[in-house]
Amino acid sequence: MSKLQSVSQWPRAEQPATRLYDVGPAAMSDAELLSLYLRPHAARTQVETARMLVADAGSLSALLSESDVPQLRAILELAKRCLSEQLSAGSALSSPAAVRDYLRLTFAGREHEVFVVLYLDAQHRIIGTDELFRGTLTQTSVYPREVVKAALRSNAAAVIFAHNHPSGVAEPSQADELLTRTLKGALALVDIKVLDHFIVAGNRTLSFSERGLL
Protein backbone atom coordinates (compact mmCIF):
# COMPACT_ATOMS: atom_id res chain seq x y z
CA MET A 1 0.00 0.00 0.00
CA SER A 2 1.33 3.46 -0.89
CA LYS A 3 2.12 6.15 1.69
CA LEU A 4 -0.88 8.19 0.61
CA GLN A 5 -3.19 5.20 0.93
CA SER A 6 -1.88 4.26 4.37
CA VAL A 7 -1.61 7.78 5.75
CA SER A 8 -4.13 7.09 8.52
CA GLN A 9 -1.73 4.47 9.87
CA TRP A 10 1.14 6.97 10.31
CA PRO A 11 2.15 7.81 13.91
CA ARG A 12 0.08 10.77 15.10
CA ALA A 13 3.13 13.09 15.19
CA GLU A 14 3.80 12.30 11.52
CA GLN A 15 0.23 12.53 10.24
CA PRO A 16 -0.22 15.43 7.78
CA ALA A 17 -3.16 16.95 9.66
CA THR A 18 -1.04 17.10 12.82
CA ARG A 19 1.92 18.56 10.95
CA LEU A 20 -0.35 21.15 9.36
CA TYR A 21 -1.22 22.50 12.80
CA ASP A 22 2.36 22.18 14.09
CA VAL A 23 4.38 23.71 11.22
CA GLY A 24 1.81 25.26 8.83
CA PRO A 25 1.09 24.38 5.18
CA ALA A 26 4.09 26.23 3.73
CA ALA A 27 6.49 23.90 5.55
CA MET A 28 4.82 20.69 4.33
CA SER A 29 5.71 18.59 1.31
CA ASP A 30 3.41 18.27 -1.71
CA ALA A 31 2.67 14.63 -0.79
CA GLU A 32 1.62 15.60 2.74
CA LEU A 33 -0.70 18.31 1.45
CA LEU A 34 -2.19 16.02 -1.21
CA SER A 35 -2.87 13.28 1.34
CA LEU A 36 -5.10 15.61 3.33
CA TYR A 37 -7.80 15.64 0.67
CA LEU A 38 -7.11 12.25 -0.95
CA ARG A 39 -8.53 10.53 2.12
CA PRO A 40 -12.03 9.03 1.75
CA HIS A 41 -14.78 11.63 2.16
CA ALA A 42 -17.78 11.32 4.45
CA ALA A 43 -21.18 10.25 3.10
CA ARG A 44 -22.10 13.80 2.08
CA THR A 45 -20.90 15.14 -1.29
CA GLN A 46 -18.04 17.63 -1.59
CA VAL A 47 -20.49 20.39 -2.55
CA GLU A 48 -22.61 19.69 0.52
CA THR A 49 -19.50 19.68 2.68
CA ALA A 50 -18.38 23.03 1.24
CA ARG A 51 -21.79 24.57 1.82
CA MET A 52 -21.83 23.32 5.41
CA LEU A 53 -18.35 24.73 6.11
CA VAL A 54 -19.22 28.17 4.70
CA ALA A 55 -22.53 28.23 6.58
CA ASP A 56 -20.85 27.28 9.86
CA ALA A 57 -18.13 29.93 9.40
CA GLY A 58 -20.60 32.65 8.39
CA SER A 59 -18.72 33.68 5.24
CA LEU A 60 -16.07 32.45 2.85
CA SER A 61 -13.52 34.93 4.22
CA ALA A 62 -14.12 33.70 7.75
CA LEU A 63 -13.77 30.10 6.60
CA LEU A 64 -10.44 30.80 4.91
CA SER A 65 -9.02 32.30 8.08
CA GLU A 66 -10.04 29.38 10.31
CA SER A 67 -7.35 26.96 11.42
CA ASP A 68 -9.43 23.83 11.87
CA VAL A 69 -10.08 23.01 8.19
CA PRO A 70 -6.89 21.20 7.10
CA GLN A 71 -8.23 20.08 3.71
CA LEU A 72 -9.10 23.62 2.67
CA ARG A 73 -5.79 25.04 3.85
CA ALA A 74 -3.94 22.31 1.98
CA ILE A 75 -5.80 23.00 -1.27
CA LEU A 76 -5.18 26.75 -0.96
CA GLU A 77 -1.47 26.17 -0.39
CA LEU A 78 -1.23 23.86 -3.41
CA ALA A 79 -3.07 26.42 -5.55
CA LYS A 80 -0.59 29.11 -4.49
CA ARG A 81 2.33 26.83 -5.30
CA CYS A 82 0.95 26.06 -8.76
CA LEU A 83 0.51 29.75 -9.52
CA SER A 84 3.96 30.53 -8.14
CA GLU A 85 5.49 27.91 -10.44
CA GLN A 86 3.67 29.43 -13.40
CA LEU A 87 4.87 32.93 -12.55
CA SER A 88 8.42 31.72 -11.96
CA ALA A 89 8.54 30.08 -15.39
CA GLY A 90 7.26 33.04 -17.44
CA SER A 91 6.90 36.80 -17.40
CA ALA A 92 4.50 38.13 -14.80
CA LEU A 93 3.49 40.83 -17.29
CA SER A 94 2.23 38.19 -19.73
CA SER A 95 0.18 36.45 -17.00
CA PRO A 96 -1.79 39.24 -15.29
CA ALA A 97 -4.63 36.87 -14.38
CA ALA A 98 -2.22 34.50 -12.63
CA VAL A 99 -0.73 37.40 -10.65
CA ARG A 100 -4.20 38.48 -9.52
CA ASP A 101 -5.18 34.92 -8.58
CA TYR A 102 -1.95 34.46 -6.63
CA LEU A 103 -2.53 37.68 -4.71
CA ARG A 104 -6.17 36.86 -3.97
CA LEU A 105 -5.04 33.56 -2.44
CA THR A 106 -2.22 35.29 -0.56
CA PHE A 107 -4.59 37.76 1.09
CA ALA A 108 -7.55 35.39 1.56
CA GLY A 109 -9.02 35.64 5.02
CA ARG A 110 -6.64 38.37 6.22
CA GLU A 111 -8.41 40.62 8.71
CA HIS A 112 -5.62 43.23 8.85
CA GLU A 113 -3.71 45.12 6.17
CA VAL A 114 -0.60 43.38 4.90
CA PHE A 115 2.00 44.77 2.48
CA VAL A 116 3.58 42.21 0.14
CA VAL A 117 6.41 42.57 -2.38
CA LEU A 118 6.91 40.25 -5.36
CA TYR A 119 10.53 40.24 -6.55
CA LEU A 120 11.23 39.70 -10.26
CA ASP A 121 14.33 39.09 -12.35
CA ALA A 122 15.29 40.91 -15.55
CA GLN A 123 12.86 38.73 -17.55
CA HIS A 124 10.09 39.64 -15.09
CA ARG A 125 9.87 36.13 -13.67
CA ILE A 126 9.00 36.01 -10.00
CA ILE A 127 11.99 34.94 -7.93
CA GLY A 128 10.49 35.46 -4.49
CA THR A 129 7.78 37.05 -2.38
CA ASP A 130 7.93 38.81 0.95
CA GLU A 131 5.33 39.91 3.49
CA LEU A 132 7.24 42.96 4.66
CA PHE A 133 4.73 44.81 6.81
CA ARG A 134 1.57 44.01 8.74
CA GLY A 135 -0.77 46.66 10.06
CA THR A 136 -4.21 47.27 11.51
CA LEU A 137 -7.67 46.88 10.07
CA THR A 138 -7.34 50.13 8.11
CA GLN A 139 -3.64 50.95 7.62
CA THR A 140 -0.09 49.64 7.39
CA SER A 141 3.15 51.51 8.01
CA VAL A 142 5.56 50.89 5.12
CA TYR A 143 9.19 52.01 5.32
CA PRO A 144 10.88 52.72 1.94
CA ARG A 145 14.35 52.04 3.36
CA GLU A 146 13.34 48.49 4.33
CA VAL A 147 11.71 47.90 0.95
CA VAL A 148 14.89 48.95 -0.87
CA LYS A 149 17.06 46.77 1.39
CA ALA A 150 14.81 43.75 0.85
CA ALA A 151 14.75 44.21 -2.95
CA LEU A 152 18.54 44.48 -3.10
CA ARG A 153 18.92 41.45 -0.86
CA SER A 154 16.74 39.45 -3.29
CA ASN A 155 18.79 40.72 -6.27
CA ALA A 156 15.55 41.89 -7.90
CA ALA A 157 15.50 43.76 -11.19
CA ALA A 158 11.85 44.74 -10.69
CA VAL A 159 9.11 44.49 -8.09
CA ILE A 160 5.35 44.34 -7.82
CA PHE A 161 3.71 45.70 -4.68
CA ALA A 162 0.41 44.52 -3.24
CA HIS A 163 -1.62 45.19 -0.16
CA ASN A 164 -5.12 44.32 0.94
CA HIS A 165 -8.11 46.36 2.00
CA PRO A 166 -10.06 44.28 4.55
CA SER A 167 -12.90 46.80 4.21
CA GLY A 168 -13.70 45.28 0.82
CA VAL A 169 -13.16 48.56 -1.06
CA ALA A 170 -10.47 48.25 -3.73
CA GLU A 171 -10.04 51.97 -4.42
CA PRO A 172 -6.63 53.53 -3.64
CA SER A 173 -6.36 56.25 -1.02
CA GLN A 174 -4.21 59.36 -1.41
CA ALA A 175 -1.79 57.73 1.04
CA ASP A 176 -1.59 54.64 -1.20
CA GLU A 177 -0.75 56.79 -4.22
CA LEU A 178 1.85 58.83 -2.33
CA LEU A 179 3.48 55.70 -0.95
CA THR A 180 3.71 54.17 -4.41
CA ARG A 181 5.36 57.26 -5.86
CA THR A 182 7.80 57.39 -2.92
CA LEU A 183 8.74 53.72 -3.30
CA LYS A 184 9.11 54.05 -7.06
CA GLY A 185 11.49 56.99 -6.63
CA ALA A 186 13.54 55.24 -3.95
CA LEU A 187 13.92 52.06 -6.00
CA ALA A 188 14.78 53.99 -9.16
CA LEU A 189 17.95 55.18 -7.39
CA VAL A 190 19.17 51.56 -7.34
CA ASP A 191 17.87 50.68 -10.83
CA ILE A 192 14.93 48.57 -9.67
CA LYS A 193 11.67 49.06 -11.57
CA VAL A 194 8.22 49.13 -10.02
CA LEU A 195 5.96 47.26 -12.45
CA ASP A 196 2.68 47.56 -10.57
CA HIS A 197 0.93 47.97 -7.25
CA PHE A 198 -2.21 45.94 -6.60
CA ILE A 199 -4.91 46.51 -4.05
CA VAL A 200 -6.80 43.34 -3.16
CA ALA A 201 -10.24 43.55 -1.56
CA GLY A 202 -11.87 40.13 -1.39
CA ASN A 203 -12.25 38.93 -4.97
CA ARG A 204 -11.62 42.39 -6.40
CA THR A 205 -8.19 43.65 -7.44
CA LEU A 206 -7.11 47.09 -8.63
CA SER A 207 -3.95 47.68 -10.68
CA PHE A 208 -2.17 51.02 -10.33
CA SER A 209 -0.57 50.47 -13.74
CA GLU A 210 -3.94 49.96 -15.45
CA ARG A 211 -5.28 53.06 -13.69
CA GLY A 212 -2.35 55.13 -14.93
CA LEU A 213 -1.11 55.74 -11.38
CA LEU A 214 2.48 54.61 -11.98
- In tens, the pLDDT along 25-48 reads 777 775 565 556 544 455 444 445
Q: Which long-range contacts (CB under 8 A, 24 or more apart) does 85-92 make?
A: 87/125, 87/126, 88/125, 88/126, 88/127, 89/125, 90/125, 91/123, 91/124, 91/125, 92/118, 92/120, 92/124, 92/125, 92/126, 92/160, 92/195
Residue 212 placed within a domain: no
Instruction: Specify the CATH number for the domain of residue 112.
Output: 3.40.140.10
Q: Is residue 72 part of a domain?
A: yes
Q: Are residues 64 and 25 in the same domain?
A: yes
Residue length, the chain?
A: 214
Rounded to two decimals, the pTM is: 0.63
Q: Specify the higher pLDDT residue, 122 or 8.
A: 122
Q: Please give the Cα distance from 106 to 164 (Å, whole number).
A: 10
Kindly tell me the burial class for residue 148, based on how many C-beta atoms sit within 10 Å of its own C-beta (0-12, 13-18, 19 or more).
Answer: middle
- One domain, residues 107 and 202: yes
How confident is residue 183, by pLDDT bands cut at 50, 70 and 90? very high
- In this structure, is residue 59 part of a structural domain? yes
In this structure, which amino acid lies at residue 25? Answer: P
**pLDDT at residue number 97:** 77
- pLDDT (tens digit per residue) in 128-178: 888 888 766 555 678 899 999 999 999 999 999 999 998 888 899 898 999
Range of the structural domain that residue 30 is part of: 7-77
Q: How many domains does the chain have?
A: 2
Domain end, chosen from 77, 101, 116, is at 77
121 and 194 in one domain? Answer: yes
Residue from 129, 103, 116, 78 nearest 201 by CA: 103
pLDDT band of residue 126 (cuts 50, 70, 90) is confident
Residue 86 included in any domain = no
Decide if 147 contacts 187 (C-beta within 8 A): yes
The answer on 96 and 200 residing in a single domain is yes
Q: Are residues 62 and 150 in the same domain?
A: no
Model confidence pLDDT, tens digit, residues 52-79:
665 666 655 555 555 555 666 666 666 6
